[in-house]
Amino acid sequence: QVQLQESGPGLVKPSETLSLTCTVSGGSVSSANYYWSWIRQPPGKGLEWIAYMYYSGSTDYNPSLESRVSISVDTSKNQFSLNLSSVTAADTAVYYCARVGGSGSYSEYYFDYWGQGTLVTVSS
């Protein structure tokens, strides 16, 4: 059974960089069969996709966040990470990491395993 666990600071100051790590167990971030992704959910609001990456290092980002976001993978630790720079209160949210499974074209992929989420508050 695949499990994902987010970790990182729960409080970040405005203008600073939010950094989170997702540790994967029961599966490998080096697998060619999956993508690995970050999604967030502001309190009381809906889901917003942030980014995903492939084990090879290829990535794609939400156009609305692309200028501030980067994701990376550490295959030796079976982890992938998120950095979001220049944060504001609008970045306060529960951040989820997830595995993206499927095959074939992008359209055939789906988020099949999710972490429990971690609340990050942006405040001075």
Using the rule CB under 8 A, which residue among 56, 67, 88, 107 binds other proteins? 107
**In this complex, which beta carbon is closest to other proteins, that of residue 15 or of residue 33?**
33
Cβ-based neighbour number of residue 74 at 10 Å: 12
State the minimum distance, in angstroms, from the CB of residue 63 to other proteins.
7
What contacts 66, CB < 8 A, 6 or more positions away? none
Using the rule CB under 8 A, which residue among 14, 116, 119, 121 binds other proteins? 116
| 120 φ/ψ angles, rounded to the nearest 5 degrees | -115, 125
Contact present, 39 and 111 (Cβ < 8 Å): yes
Using the rule CB under 8 A, which residue among 29, 36, 37, 93 binds other proteins? 37
Strands (E), 26-78: 35-41, 48-54, 59-61, 69-74
**In this complex, which beta carbon is closest to other proteins, that of residue 81 or of residue 95?**
95
Q: Is 47 in the site for other proteins (CB under 8 A)?
A: yes
Contacts to other proteins by CB under 8 A:
37, 39, 46-49, 52, 60, 62-63, 96, 102, 106-112, 114-117
